[in-house]
């Protein structure tokens, strides 16, 4: 490219750079940037040490050099339009990626300022600021934010909030965010004081400040029927302590199911203790009613026993039976109560009381109740009665609550049955009538003995908790009688894969426990896989193929927790990972993959 303009290199016309006074050079070197001056012929006339070091030149070498020789042909051609504009009197500001003398890429901010004197531009000043660390930090921050956002979007039951030192939300993402009454676009980029409702900002600010100070703070919050566990803490990055103190994060996790399960087990333990102490049948029923009311946070709960094909009696109610409600009730053809529906179908039921609901609904409405749910209780294979819960709101009882009530009823039915039939107490204390396996009480006795033996002998002991996947579908589709036949068949297959010295027990509902003395966790994992394959290998009559999930724990892996608790946690890991698989407590992700089998539609995990 040839051009007679002053921008073209003219080696013969270069004049030497005058010596820069020491005082001026000291000033230039004190500026935290690269400073240079180029005349209208694009010759270097002034440069501080940082400018020289960047290009790897001595001050004497740079003196009088043409800008093309310093930048190189490619960079010069890219920069030439900017140089032309600054020499025309227009200041320029831009960002540029350059390679320093060591060959490393750097990010810079550059300003060209025209030197106008006597009505003409004599040259221009260059100030180059190295912003590499800032650019890299911004990129790291963006990468971290993208990761937080992706995590929050992908994990169910979670949301993530990222905030800065001003308590401004940088990220607000997650499937559960709207449960709290907020949307992403409402929060991001805004201060907590401007967007949080009520006194929530004042409540959260101390926790956010503590997180920014490097502390971790945890708390719980109830939203409707859901419980969330929240944790606020600092965000650490490659930028070190200062960056960690400038950003904080809140992670919220829905722990409703876990807390509900814990409450159920605590309630069952209380009921089992009462049964073990030979409490009267009425006392047991009263305690069940009180526990159900507390567990489900409803206005009333009751235990009702069927006294005939079309009659029932309220055995216990919490709080006490209101005067508007009769203790004994005869069904009529137009009765629309949850209890009557269970009596007719054998399945859990949910109703909203209407004016045409019959005598039972009329009594409930007179007491101020508007909705109810009931779940069947079976004793020795027969429909014995129901556990019910009622609400004074038409929306106070939900499908999810009904399903939980059904699970709870299945777990307490043995206790109620035992209190009703003291003559069968010894048999029912050791054997599950439906499956022929040891029941839960017998299992607890065996477990205590085996733990003591393993401790005294220094031998291994493992437990496997097994659960039939989607068993509710069997009952709903084929009826509870077929469901009972399936439970007995599953029990037989499990018994067949167990060794003589091992114990397989029915823990309740569709859940079984397998104790393996002298077996470590790895061996127990393989045994559980054999059981899983045995269940999935052949169909169960008209029901078709079924699968099970299993959780494994070795006594030494249980640490401070009980052996069955830890195996049960592993079972929940397997369930959460997709069912039809086995998980070992404290070890890797659940092993095993689902096997699609002919006729398995609707019943594989």
Which of the residues are catalytic? 510
In DSSP notation, 264-281 reads HHHHHHHHHHHHHTT--H
DSSP state of 234: E
Residue 257: closest CA among 156, 376, 387, 396: 156
Residue 434: closest CA among 484, 475, 469: 484
The HSE-up count of residue 367 (CA atoms within 13 Å, CB side) is 21
Residue 45: closest CA among 9, 16, 82, 7: 16
Residue 42: closest CA among 74, 76, 75, 89: 76
Contact assessment for residue 45 and residue 39, using Cβ atoms and an 8 Å cutoff = yes
> How many residues does this entry show for the chain?
605
> How far is the C-alpha of 128 from the C-alpha of 123, rounded, in Å?
16
In sequence order, which residues have a C-beta less than 8 Å from that of residue 434 and are 6 or more positions away? Answer: 381, 484, 487, 488, 506
Structure-token pair, residue 381: 């294979």
> How far is the C-alpha of 594 from the C-alpha of 354, rounded, in Å?
46
DSSP state of 357: S
Contact assessment for residue 109 and residue 92, using Cβ atoms and an 8 Å cutoff = no
> How far is the C-alpha of 114 from the C-alpha of 108, rounded, in Å?
20
> How far is the C-alpha of 13 from the C-alpha of 3, rounded, in Å?
15
Per DSSP, which regions of 369-496 are E strands? 371-379, 382-391, 461-468
Pairing of strands 582-584, 548-554: parallel
Residue 446: closest CA among 438, 436, 458: 438
Per DSSP, which regions of 100-182 are E strands? 105-117, 120-130, 158-164, 169-174
> How far is the C-alpha of 405 from the C-alpha of 414, rounded, in Å?
15
The HSE-up count of residue 419 (CA atoms within 13 Å, CB side) is 25
> How far is the C-alpha of 304 from the C-alpha of 281, rounded, in Å?
13
DSSP state of 197: -
Residue 318: closest CA among 282, 354, 342, 353: 282
């Amino acid at each position: 490219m040839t051009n007679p303009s002053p921008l073209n290199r003219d080696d013969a016309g270069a004049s030497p750079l005058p010596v820069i006074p020491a005082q001026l050079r000291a000033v230039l070197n004190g500026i935290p940037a690269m400073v240079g001056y180029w005349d209208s012929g694009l010759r270097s006339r002034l440069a501080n040490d940082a400018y020289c070091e960047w290009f790897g030149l001595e001050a004497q070498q740079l003196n009088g050099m043409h800008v093309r020789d310093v930048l190189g042909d490619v960079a010069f051609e890219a920069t030439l339009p900017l140089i032309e504009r600054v020499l025309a009197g227009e200041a320029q500001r831009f960002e540029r990626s350059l390679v320093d003398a060591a060959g490393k890429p750097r990010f810079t901010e550059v300003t060209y300022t025209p030197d106008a004197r006597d009505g003409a531009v004599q040259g221009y000043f260059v100030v180059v600021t190295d912003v590499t660390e800032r650019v890299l930090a911004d990129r790291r921050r963006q990468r971290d934010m993208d990761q937080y956002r992706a995590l929050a979007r992908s994990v169910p039951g979670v949301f993530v909030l990222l905030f800065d030192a001003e308590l401004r939300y940088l990220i607000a993402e997650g499937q559960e965010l709207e449960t709290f009454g907020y949307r992403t676009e409402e929060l991001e980029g805004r201060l907590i004081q401007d967007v949080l409702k009520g006194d929530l900002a004042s409540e959260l600010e101390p926790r956010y400040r503590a997180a920014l100070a490097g502390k971790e703070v945890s708390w719980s919050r109830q939203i409707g029927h859901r419980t969330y566990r929240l944790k606020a803490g600092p965000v650490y990055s490659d930028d070190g302590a200062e960056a960690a103190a400038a950003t904080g994060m809140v992670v919220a996790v829905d722990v409703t199911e876990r807390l509900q399960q814990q409450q159920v087990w605590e309630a069952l333990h209380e009921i089992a203790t009462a049964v073990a102490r030979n409490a009267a049948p009425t006392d047991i029923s009263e305690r069940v009613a009180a526990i159900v009311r507390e567990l489900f946070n409803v206005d009333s709960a009751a235990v009702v026993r069927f006294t005939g094909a079309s009659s029932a009696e309220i055995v216990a109610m919490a709080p006490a039976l209101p005067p508007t409600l009769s203790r004994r009730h005869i069904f009529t053809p137009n009765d629309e109560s949850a209890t009557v529906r269970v009596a007719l179908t054998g399945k859990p039921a949910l109703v909203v009381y209407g004016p045409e609901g019959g005598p039972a609904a009329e009594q409930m409405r007179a007491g101020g109740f508007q909705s109810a749910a009931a779940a069947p209780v079976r004793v020795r294979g027969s429909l014995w009665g129901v556990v019910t819960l009622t609400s004074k709101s038409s929306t106070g009882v939900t499908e999810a609550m009904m399903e939980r009530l059904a699970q709870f009823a299945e777990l307490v039915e043995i206790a109620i049955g035992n209190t009703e039939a003291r003559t069968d107490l010894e048999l029912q204390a050791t054997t599950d009538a439906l499956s022929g396996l040891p029941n839960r009480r017998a299992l607890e006795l065996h477990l205590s003995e085996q733990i003591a033996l393993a401790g005294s002998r220094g031998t291994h002991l493992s437990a496997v908790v097994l659960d039939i996947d989607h068993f509710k579908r069997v009952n709903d589709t084929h009826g509870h009688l077929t469901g009972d036949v399936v439970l007995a068949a599953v029990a037989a297959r499990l018994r067949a894969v167990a060794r003589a010295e091992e114990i397989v027990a029915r823990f309740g509902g569709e859940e079984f426990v397998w104790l393996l003395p002298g077996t470590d966790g790895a061996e127990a994992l393989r045994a559980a896989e054999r059981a899983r394959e045995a269940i999935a290998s052949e169909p169960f009559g008209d029901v078709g193929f079924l699968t099970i999930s299993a959780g494994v724990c070795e006594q030494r892996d249980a640490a401070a927790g009980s052996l069955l608790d830890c195996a049960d946690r592993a079972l929940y890991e397997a369930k959460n990972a997709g069912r039809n698989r086995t998980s070992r407590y404290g070890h890797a992700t659940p092993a095993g993959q689902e096997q699609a089998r002919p006729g398995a539609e609707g019943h594989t995990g």
